[in-house]
């Protein structure tokens, strides 16, 4: 079976390699991928949105629908994991559950390191979120780092200790709240007479020029994305590492 798979995949790989030789050369500035839409984006993104980071401008302004639905998809993934795994411990119908090592006592080095690293991580996450306009970063990266700080807390202390800090209900509220913020900004722009997620509508409320209004709109939706991604990472860790009991993690 494995040899047959190997032979068939090697044949497919050979065919694809021969076909790939027809594709344009690497690093060619005149390749078709770089000739149609992207020079327009590169040249007009700054005067339209006042955002030096072109990736953030395209992600949150020109392709904001994609980002909104991606936020919804990642929220849905957290909900699905909760539906599959979450259970109360006295209803076990499993066959073999290997003994998990019990944690005894507390570890001074881990706790001390966590106390020093976690606040710095959270401030760095907020910095990455806020500076998404000017440097590599943005909503996703900041949200993931923020979520990872809570996972670090759960690894160095207890899962139950982390649950007293960031309860499951608040996690789910944050998951939904970020996506709601994103769609809410879109609906606000729609109600003011522009397109859905056309941030130039915010120029009337905020009293700034249209380009600056788009920049502020990008920041607002990035905050929404960051909140959702943070809560989703924490929720996925809570469910997967404890196997649904929420009793003891890694």
Partner 1 sequence: MTWDASLLWQFDLLILLMMVICAVAALSLKDLVSCAVVTGAYSFLICLMWTAMLAVDVAFTEAAVGAGISTVLILGTAQYIKRRSKD
Partner 2 sequence: MDELFPFIIAKYNYWASLILLFIGLYGMIAKNNLMKKIIGMIIFQTAILLFYVSIGVKQGASVPILFFSEDHQPLLEASAYANPLPHVLMLTAIVVGVGTLGVALAILQKIQRVHGTIEEDEILEDMRQ
Residue 126 found at the interface with partner 2 (CB under 8 A): no
Alpha carbon distance, N-terminus to C-terminus of the chain: 36
Query: Element (H or E) spanning 176, and its range?
Result: helix 168-191
Name which position in 51, 60, 114, 140 contacts partner 1 (CB under 8 A).
140
Residue with the two structure tokens 């998951």: 175
| d(C-alpha 101, C-alpha 109), whole Å | 20
How far apart are the C-alpha atoms of 84 and 243, rounded to whole Å? 10
Residue 184 or 244: the one with the smaller Cβ distance to partner 1 is 244
Site string for partner 1, 68-107 (x = CB under 8 A): -----------------------------xx-x-------
Q: State the binding partner of 1 from partner 2, partner 1, none, CB within 5 to 8 A by kind.
A: partner 2
39-58 positions binding partner 1, by CB under 8 A = 53, 55-56
Q: What is the DSSP string of 110-175?
A: HHHHHHHHHHHHHHHHHHHHHGGGTSS--HHHHHHHHHHHHHHHHHHS-HHHHHHHS-HHHHHHHH
The CA distance from 228 to 248, in Å, is 24
CA distances from 246 to 73, 135, 162, 169 (A): 24, 38, 10, 13
Binding positions for partner 1, rule: CB under 8 A: 27, 53, 55-56, 97-98, 100, 128, 136-138, 140-141, 144-145, 147-148, 151, 155, 233, 236-237, 240-241, 243, 249-250
Binding positions for partner 2, rule: CB under 8 A: 1-2, 5-6, 9-10, 12-13, 16-17, 20-21, 23, 25-29, 31, 33-34, 37-39, 41-43, 45-46, 52-55, 58-59, 63, 66-67, 70, 73-74, 76-78, 80-81, 84-85, 93-97, 134-136, 140, 229, 232, 236, 239-240, 243-244
């Amino acid at each position: 079976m494995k040899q047959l798979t190997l032979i068939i995949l090697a044949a497919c790989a050979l065919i694809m390699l021969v076909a790939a030789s027809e594709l344009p050369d690497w690093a060619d500035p005149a390749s078709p991928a770089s000739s149609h839409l992207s020079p327009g984006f590169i040249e007009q993104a700054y005067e339209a949105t006042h955002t030096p980071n072109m990736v953030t401008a395209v992600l949150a302004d020109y392709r904001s629908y994609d980002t909104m639905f991606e936020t919804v998809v990642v929220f849905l993934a957290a909900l699905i994991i909760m539906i599959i795994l979450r259970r109360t411990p006295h209803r076990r119908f499993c066959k073999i559950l290997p003994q998990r090592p019990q944690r005894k006592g507390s570890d001074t080095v881990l706790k001390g390191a966590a106390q020093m690293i976690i606040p710095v991580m959270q401030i760095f996450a907020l910095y990455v979120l806020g500076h998404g306009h000017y440097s590599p970063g943005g909503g996703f990266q900041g949200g993931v780092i923020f979520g990872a700080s809570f996972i670090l807390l759960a690894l160095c202390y207890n899962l139950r200790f982390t649950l007293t800090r960031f309860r499951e209900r608040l996690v789910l509220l944050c998951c939904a709240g970020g996506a709601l913020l994103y769609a809410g900004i879109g609906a606000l722009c729609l109600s003011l007479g522009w397109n859905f997620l056309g941030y130039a509508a915010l120029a009337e409320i905020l009293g700034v020029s249209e380009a600056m209004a788009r920049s502020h709109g990008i920041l607002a939706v990035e905050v929404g994305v960051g909140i959702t991604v943070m809560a989703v990472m924490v929720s996925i860790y809570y469910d997967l590492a404890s196997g649904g009991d929420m009793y003891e993690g890694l």
